């Protein structure tokens, strides 16, 4: 710092200026929402809580579209459905923004134990897997965890099929997923380095249904590609019991999945245009794509329905809120946040006008906590939002929110975010399986989510000041 020599009076002025700056830094200078706006939000909350709109939207999506894996015919029908639904719900502006990505196709998928106790196994290809060359016969090499596999010498498996049996643990906040999912995402690369011909994993899921969980896996450019599939949890138990007997276990696996060129889908965007600051956005939404095995009710039809309903209910007010409420249904989240990245690229120069955002992508369980990632001087606003959320059973969380998977690129670009944490105790029983269907969604819980998103979006759109979004924070927080 440069040393300044100042006369006495100037230095007194400097002290006063420093005190004012301190006041800004601790938040006392940030204006707050007025009582009339807070009570309007409370009325909206109560109306949303008894509304069936989100359930009707979700019923429509799962019935009229169903599975909508990125790049499939269901994807195309989902885009048309979303555009029509936004219009029907009275959104002021509906926009399609193109998103291009490689398309992956699922083919035939079978597995069976050949020896010592022949019987069928229930499997599904992991998203992105290549095919086997016909039916692959090989002995099984069992590892309890990915770390155990990583620890053996490279090249030591000689064409065997790796089987990783780690079991995902159940938590309210889904913390078990992060601990278990590496076996799915990077297992094939590790197994290939060891010389394996394919990999089978226990499904990344908490259920005991005989239904396998799919989900994205990945390859590395410099490592041989091998086919990858998930066993249902009961089949993983069965295979582990055979291995335990100490005799060689031979499995036959056939996968027909493949990559097929590029496909262009769309982010579908519905706006409730703001009254006085229409160029500023409160960003809510979910992802429109699903995996192909179920109807994508919880992942992520629920998130789409919750945020579309929240936007629509706010859109029915006599006067629009100050800022625009933007609901984005992102294309292809499941295979690598393609829609989210495209959104950020398309809106890079106006990211500073995205004042805050939250994505709903964790099913339809009730919201129990509200966390933020805002500048310190906006925490008073967050406290006000929490007060209106609290009759829904929502408590204040920390100021380190992620915002949801599709908001990662925007958060990295400097956008303030919030997370409305849902109870995900049973989410991973159904996640990415054929069991992800409408009957798993509790209509009352869904409406509670809509009430919370309505409060969040409305009050954020009305808030004086801002939440700290700025441009140029690339990777500052990751
Ligand atoms: Zn999802």
Q: Please provide the size of the chain in residues.
A: 478
For helices 35-49 and 379-389, what crossing angle results, to 10°? Answer: 40
CATH fold label, 108-256: Glucose Oxidase; domain 1 (3.50.30)
Count of CB atoms situated within 10 Å of the CB of 79: 22
User: By C-alpha distance, which of 168, 169, 349, 161 is closest to 250?
Assistant: 161
Asked if residue 232 lies in contact with residue 120, where contact means CB atoms within 8 angstroms, the answer is: no
What is the structure's pLDDT at 472? Answer: 53
DSSP letter, residue 473: -
CA of 298 to the centre of ligand 1 (A): 8
DSSP letter, residue 409: H
Whether 59 is a known active-site residue: answer no
8: pLDDT strictly greater than 80: no
CA of 287 to the centre of ligand 1 (A): 6
Cα–Cα dist 442/365, whole Å: 8
User: By C-alpha distance, which of 216, 194, 206 is closest to 143?
Assistant: 194
Cα–Cα dist 338/18, whole Å: 45
CA of 243 to the centre of ligand 1 (A): 34
Asked if residue 310 lies in contact with residue 303, where contact means CB atoms within 8 angstroms, the answer is: no
Asked if residue 400 lies in contact with residue 417, where contact means CB atoms within 8 angstroms, the answer is: no
pTM of the model: 0.92
Q: What would the DSSP string read from start to end of 109-126? A: EEEEEEESS-EEE-EEEP
Categorize the per-residue pLDDT at 30 as very low, low, confident or very high, splitting at 50, 70 and 90: confident
Cα–Cα dist 263/286, whole Å: 20
Q: Read off the tokens for 380.
A: 């008073």
CA of 103 to the centre of ligand 1 (A): 18
What is the structure's pLDDT at 157? Answer: 98
Categorize the per-residue pLDDT at 334 as very low, low, confident or very high, splitting at 50, 70 and 90: very high
Instruction: Domain ranges for the chain, please list them.
Output: 35-104+261-462, 108-256
CA of 413 to the centre of ligand 1 (A): 21
Q: Read off the tokens for 156.
A: 């030591």
Cα–Cα dist 343/413, whole Å: 12
**CA angle in degrees (0–180, nearest 5) for 265-352-286:** 35
Q: Indicate which residue of 97, 250, 280, 333 is catalytic.
A: 333
Share of the chain above pLDDT 90, in %: 91
What is the structure's pLDDT at 470? Answer: 80
Pick the CATH number of 35-104+261-462 from 3.30.300.10, 3.40.50.300, 3.40.630.10, 3.30.1360.70: 3.40.630.10
Tens of pLDDT, residue by residue over 423-461, are: 999 999 999 999 999 999 999 999 999 999 999 999 999
CA of 333 to the centre of ligand 1 (A): 7
Give me the helices (H) in 376-426, please: 379-389, 408-412
**CA angle in degrees (0–180, nearest 5) for 170-205-115:** 130
């Amino acid at each position: 710092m440069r040393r300044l020599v100042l006369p006495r009076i100037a230095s007194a002025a400097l002290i006063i200026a420093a005190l004012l700056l301190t006041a800004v830094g601790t938040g006392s200078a940030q204006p707050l929402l007025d009582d009339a706006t807070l009570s309007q939000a409370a009325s909206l909350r109560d109306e949303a809580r008894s509304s069936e709109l989100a359930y009707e939207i979700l019923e429509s999506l799962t019935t009229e579209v169903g599975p909508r894996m990125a790049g499939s015919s269901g994807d195309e029908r989902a885009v048309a459905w979303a555009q029509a639904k936004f219009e029907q719900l009275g959104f002021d502006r509906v926009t399609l923004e193109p998103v291009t990505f490689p398309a992956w196709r699922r083919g035939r998928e079978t597995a069976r134990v050949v020896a010592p106790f022949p019987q069928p196994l229930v499997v599904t290809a992991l998203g992105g897997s290549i095919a086997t060359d016909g039916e692959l016969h090989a002995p099984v090499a069992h590892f309890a965890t990915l770390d155990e596999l990583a620890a053996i010498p490279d090249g030591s498996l000689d064409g065997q099929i790796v089987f990783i049996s780690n079991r995902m643990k159940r938590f309210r906040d889904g913390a078990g997923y992060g601990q278990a999912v590496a076996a799915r995402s990077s297992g094939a690369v590790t197994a290939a380095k060891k010389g394996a011909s394919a990999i089978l994993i226990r499904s990344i899921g908490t259920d005991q249904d005989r239904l396998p969980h799919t989900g994205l896996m990945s390859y590395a450019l410099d490592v041989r590609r091998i086919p990858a599939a998930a066993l249902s949890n009961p089949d993983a138990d069965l295979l582990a019991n055979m291995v335990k007997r100490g005799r060689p276990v031979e499995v036959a696996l056939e996968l027909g999945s493949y990559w097929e060129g590029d496909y262009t889908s769309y982010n579908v965007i519905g706006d409730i245009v703001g009254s006085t600051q229409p160029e500023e956005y409160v960003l809510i939404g979910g992802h429109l794509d699903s995996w192909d095995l179920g109807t994508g009710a919880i992942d992520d039809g629920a998130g789409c329905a919750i945020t579309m309903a929240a936007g629509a209910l706010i859109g029915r007010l006599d006067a629009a809120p100050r800022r625009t409420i933007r609901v984005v249904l992102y294309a292809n989240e499941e295979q690598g946040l393609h829609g989210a990245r495209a959104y950020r690229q398309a809106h890079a120069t106006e990211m500073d006008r995205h004042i805050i955002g939250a994505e709903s992508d964790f099913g339809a369980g009730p919201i129990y906590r509200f966390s933020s990632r805002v500048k310190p001087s906006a925490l008073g606003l967050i406290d006000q939002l929490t007060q209106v959320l609290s009759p829904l059973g929502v408590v204040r969380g920390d100021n380190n929110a992620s915002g949801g998977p599709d908001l990662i690129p925007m958060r990295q670009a400097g956008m303030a975010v919030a997370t409305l944490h849902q109870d995900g105790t049973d989410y991973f029983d159904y996640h990415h399986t054929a069991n992800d269907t409408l009957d798993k969604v509790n209509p009352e819980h869904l409406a509670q989510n809509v009430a919370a998103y309505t409060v969040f979006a409305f009050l954020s759109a009305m808030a004086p000041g801002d939440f700290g979004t700025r441009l140029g924070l690339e990777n500052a927080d990751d």
